[in-house]
Amino acid sequence: MHRRSVLAIIGLGLLAPALAMPARAQVTFVPGQVWSVRDMPEATQLIIGRVERFGTTTAVHVSIVGVPVPIDWPGPGGTTQVAHMPFDADALAASVEQLIGTDGTALPNFQDGYAEWRRARGGVFTISVAEAVSFALGGR
């Protein structure tokens, strides 16, 4: 899968099958927060770009940096980034580990992905961040 295809998938907020998420303590998400992510490498960080009502829930739109490049992708490897991914707030709360800072800025093309999500009337991921990233990058 090419990186542009990944951004298209993420921008639309296509949903993977929902998994039951364990109850978590209430987490309040605010744009600019930077979080570490459960079940992802230490260098992976999630930046809150936007928080809004979405039907009966709350959508939290994020950028993710330091994402390991899958082995089967062309190129030298290393890390990549995801400009926009929309999550259900409860699913996201179950995926974040520690608040690292509050001065983060969403990636420059975050707004493009968000605008595409709005145009497409996309959904939100209800699975963990690690599972959503794996799904988006062509993982199984």
User: Which pLDDT tens digit goes with each residue over 88-114?
Assistant: 999 999 999 999 999 999 898 999 999
* H or E segment and range at residue 42: none
pLDDT band at 140 (very low <50, low <70, confident <90, very high): low
Name the residue with higher pLDDT: 83 or 77: 83
Residues 125 and 91 sit within 8 Å (Cβ to Cβ): yes
Site of tokens 């992708």? 73
Report the chain's mean pLDDT, rounded to a whole number.
84
Check pLDDT > 80 for residue 8.
Answer: no
CA dihedral of residues 32, 93, 114, 17 (deg, nearest 10): 160
What's the pLDDT score for residue 4? 44
Average pLDDT of the segment spanning 38-55 = 96
Q: How far apart are CA 34 and CA 46, in angstroms?
A: 6
CB 61 within 8 A of CB 132: no
pLDDT reported for residue 1? 43
Q: What is the pLDDT of residue 139?
A: 65
Q: How confident is the model over 128-138, as a mean pLDDT? A: 92
